[in-house]
Structure 1
Amino acid sequence: MELGSADAFDRMGTLGVEEEFYIVDERGRPTSGISDLVYDHPPTGILEDRIDHELFQFTIETQTPLIEDAGGVEAVVRDVRAALVDHAAEHGYRIAAAGLHPTAEWYELDHATKPRYRSQLDRIQYPQHRNTTSGLHVHVGVDDADKATWIANELRWYLPPLLALSANSPFWCGYDTGLSSARAKIFEALPNTGMPTHFEDFAAYQRFERRMVELGSIEDRGELWYDVRPHTGHGTVEVRTPDAQTDPAATAAFVEYVHALVADLAARYEDGEPGTDVRREILDANKWHAMRYGRDAEFITRDCEDTITLEEFVAAETDRLGTDALRRLLDAESGTARQRRLRRESGFDALCEALCLE
């Protein structure tokens, strides 16, 4: 039984970035490739032991090395992506990035054969069979387990605006869903996803994690797929909300903001701030607004007395934290808007090409 420990939380401010991508053919269309890229020809260099696959044979994940300097995130992300693109090209593949591949028809694609995924497919059935989603996961090291749990609690209110900024998945099986992040809605069909509840302290979270495994609800702690969690193996707070990003500069901006926000929350915890416990229903409503409306979403405030626009949220956070990461994201064309524009102007062939990494 794989369970973590409070002892894992021993470093503050380190970073790790996980990005999920799609293996595609020369036309940018999904194709099975994990056997070649992960098993038969495992990569060396920066990708050695930092590449894995996901549920489908056309989905692949990279992990960065441990990043000590937040200012170096974009360079590391670009290096990892370049290595993946080169590795794929050596074996006749390309790599694409988005929250959902717009033309992937899950019922025509092959699942991975790893026993862990076969077990999930058997237990979860339809919601997992169709799960072609790709996300961006940001890990920030925290030096105390109770602090990490408090930070994860507080982060929940900030996650819907992050999802709205990251939205990069309007198309599903070639169909415009009308959503800004169809990925988020599809992923929420799985168990143990979405907004987590508030945990009083690390002991409460660890009891929950342990009971879920012991009672057979999950096979390991990795199946707690909530939007944010204290990662009891890595000793981090893991933010799992954003759609996968096509532009590496966007990935770096999300990491920059999450790092600054976690540092701010850590300082507030150390100052004895009591924290908040926003109702999960309010958080779910805010997340729905982000999924549906993206950049046009409005969010219910913590006190449930008003709403704020995404522009207002970005302005407040930019001023409060002293980083322009969110402003850079908001000023750029959104992933969802870009995908719809390319589809409208040039069709799916051009869109698939535009999602490929160079």
Structure 2
Amino acid sequence: MELGSADAFDRMGTLGVEEEFYIVDADGRPTSGIDDLVYGPEPPEPLVGRLDHELFEFTIETQTPRIEDPADVADAVTSVREALVEHAGNHGYRVAAAGLHPAAKWRELDHATKPRYQAQLDRIQYPQHRNTTAGLHIHVGVDDADKAVWIANELRWYLAPLLALSANSPFWNGFDTGLASARSKIFENLPNTGMPTAFDDFDDFQTFERRMVEYGSIDDRGELWFDVRPHTGHGTVEIRTPDAQTDPQRVVDFVEYVHALVLDLADRYEAGEPSHDIRREILDENKWRSTRYGRDASFIAPDAEGVVELDTFVEDESERLGVDGLRSLFDAESGTDIQRRIHEESGLDALCEYLALE
């Protein structure tokens, strides 16, 4: 049984970034490639030990090394991406980035044969068979297990604005879904996903984690795919809400905010601030608003008294935490709008080309 430990939570403020990408051919269309890129010759140095694949043979994941200084995030993200593009190019492939690939039709694509994924397909069936999603996962180190659980609880209200700002997946299975983030809804059809309930402390979370394995709901702790979770192996709080991003600067902007927010919540925990009791239904409603409307979403306030507009959230959080990236994310054209504009003006071929990294 693979379970983590409270002892893993021993560093405060370190960072790690996981990005999921698509392997595509010369025309930017999805194609199987993990045999060459993951199981073939060793990749360039930034990717050694930090390259894996996901459910489909055209999905691939990278991890940065542990980042001690937030000022190094941009270099870490860029070097990993450049190495992946180089590695793919050496084998005749390209790499694309989005929450969903607009040309990916899941019935026509091959699933990975890795036993872990085959077991998931057998257990979960249809929802996992069609799971062509790609996300951005941000890890922030926390130096105490109970603190990590408290922070994860408090982060839940902030996840909907993050999803709204990251929305980058309007197309799925060849058509426009009408959603800003179709990825979030497709992924949420899997078990043990979406918005978690609050946990009392680390013992409460670990008991839940252990029972889910013991009772056969999951094979290992990594299959608790909630939008935010204490990662009991890495000793981090992991935010898993954002869509994968095409532009690396957007990744850097998200990491800047998440890091500042986690440090702020850590200080509030140390100061003895009580946790906020937010109805799960409100959290789910706010996430739905982001899924549907993206940049145009507004959110029910934590106390359910009033509505918070996204522009107000961005301004207030930027001022409160002293970050710049949130404004950049809000002021730029959204990933969803870019995709729809390119598709309408120039068609699917042009959109596939835009999503391919250089």
| TM class, shorter-length | over 0.9
Report deviation, 1:139.
0.3
- Partner of 2:75 in structure 1? 75
Answer yes or no: is the 8 Å Cα contact 1:128–1:190 preserved in 2. yes
Deviation at 1:174, TM superposition (A): 1.4
Equivalence for 1:230: 230
Question: Which residue number in structure 1 is paired with residue 47 of structure 2?
Answer: 47
CA offsets 1:35-63 (integer angstroms, 9 cap, x no match): 00000223130100000000000000000
The answer to whether the 8 Å contact 2:44/2:87 transfers is no
CA RMSD, Structure 1 to Structure 2 (Å):
0.5
Aligned match of 1:93 = 93
Distance in 1 separating the partners of 2:286 and 2:23: 32
Superposed displacement of residue 277, structure 1: 1.9
* Aligned residue type for 1:196: P
Alignment deviations for residues 271-303 of structure 1 (CA, whole Å, 9 cap, x no partner) = 000111211110000000000000100100011
Identity value in percent: 74
State how many pairs are aligned: 358
Secondary structure of 1:39's aligned partner: coil
Displacement of 1:75 in angstroms is 1.2
State the alpha-carbon separation in 2 of the partners of residues 99 and 41 from structure 1: 28
1:334 Cα shift? 0.3
Q: How far off is 1:173 after superposition?
A: 1.2
Query: C-alpha separation between the residues in 2 aligned to 1:92 and 1:47?
Result: 18
CA contact (8 A) 1:135 1:242 kept: yes
Is 1:200 paired with 2:200?
Answer: yes
Given the two structures, how large is their TM-score scaled by the length of structure 1?
1.00
Which amino acid is 1:68 matched to? Answer: E
Q: Is the 8 A contact 1:153 1:277 kept in 2?
A: no
Unpaired segments of 5 or more residues in structure 2?
none
CA distance in 2, matches of 1:309, 1:293: 12
Aligned to 2:167: 167
Kept after mapping to 2: 8 A contact 1:193/1:226:
yes
Alignment of 1:12-31 (within 5 A): 12-31=12-31
Deviations 1:60-97 (A, max 9, x none): 00000010010110111000000000000000000000
Between the aligned partners of 1:210 and 1:7, the Cα distance in structure 2 is: 16
CA distance in 1 between partners of 2:209 and 2:8 (Å): 15
1:1-358 residue pairs with structure 2 within 5 A? 1-358=1-358
Structure 1 runs not aligned, ≥5 long: none
TM-score scaled by length of structure 2: 1.00
Matches of 1:232 and 1:311, distance apart in 2? 34
Aligned AA for 2:36? Answer: D
Q: Partners in 1 of 2:40 and 2:138 — Cα distance?
A: 29
Q: Helix, strand or coil: the match of 2:267?
A: helix
| Per-residue Cα deviation, 1:130-151 (whole angstroms, up to 9, x for no partner) | 0000000000000000000000
Q: Aligned equivalents of 1:233 and 1:245: distance in 2?
A: 25
* Deviation >4 Å, runs of 4+: none
Distance 2:161 2:99 in 1: 16
